[in-house]
């Protein structure tokens, strides 16, 4: 699971939205941020990462990725969004299916986790 989370970070670094979206199952759900309406399904996920990666967004891990004793893993990182001139401090929790694809992503960040 940790390798997939690292691939998620690396896909942003490489500017490769297909590499990031390809980590997800076709019927995966993305809740980013937690509390907003989710993005669901292949077309919506592809569009979500085309926009995010296309905007030049980069992720930097703040501390090592965490695993678990189940099918979920988590990471704390800082998001640089140069197009908006902001940084967002986030924690993402990813849930995995038996085939190793991500079935759910939940991104924890709120209004006061954004720095201008």
Q: Which residues are catalytic?
A: 8, 32
Question: Is the N-terminal amide bond of 33 cis, ω within 30° of 0?
Answer: yes
34 binds a second copy (CB under 8 A): yes
CA 101, 104, 108, 109 dihedral sign is positive
Which of these segments, 14-22, 47-55, 74-82, 97-105, binds a second copy (CB under 8 A)? 74-82
Tokens of 87: 């940084």
Residue from 15, 54, 67, 100 binding a second copy (CB under 8 A): 67
Stretch that binds a second copy, among 11-19, 21-29, 40-48, 107-115 (CB under 8 A): 107-115
| Per-residue tokens: 100 | 């190793």
CB of 18 to a second copy, least distance (A): 27
- By the rule CB under 8 A, 73 interacts with a second copy: yes
Characterize the bridge pairing of strands 86-96 and 72-81. antiparallel
Task: Give the other-Cβ count within 10 Å of 87's Cβ.
Answer: 16
- Output DSSP code: residue 10: H
Q: Contact positions toward a second copy, by CB under 8 A?
A: 2, 33-36, 62-64, 66-76, 89-91, 93, 108-113
């Amino acid at each position: 699971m940790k390798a997939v989370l690292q691939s998620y970070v690396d896909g942003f670094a490489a500017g490769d939205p297909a590499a990031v979206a390809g980590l997800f199952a076709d019927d995966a759900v993305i809740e980013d941020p937690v509390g907003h309406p989710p993005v669901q399904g292949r077309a919506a996920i592809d569009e979500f990462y085309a926009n995010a990666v296309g905007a030049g967004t980069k992720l930097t891990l703040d501390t090592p990725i965490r695993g678990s004793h189940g099918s979920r893993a988590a990471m704390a990182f800082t998001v640089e969004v140069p197009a908006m001139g902001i940084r967002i401090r986030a924690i993402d929790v990813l849930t995995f299916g038996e085939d190793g694809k991500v079935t759910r992503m939940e991104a924890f960040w709120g209004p006061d986790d954004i720095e201008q």
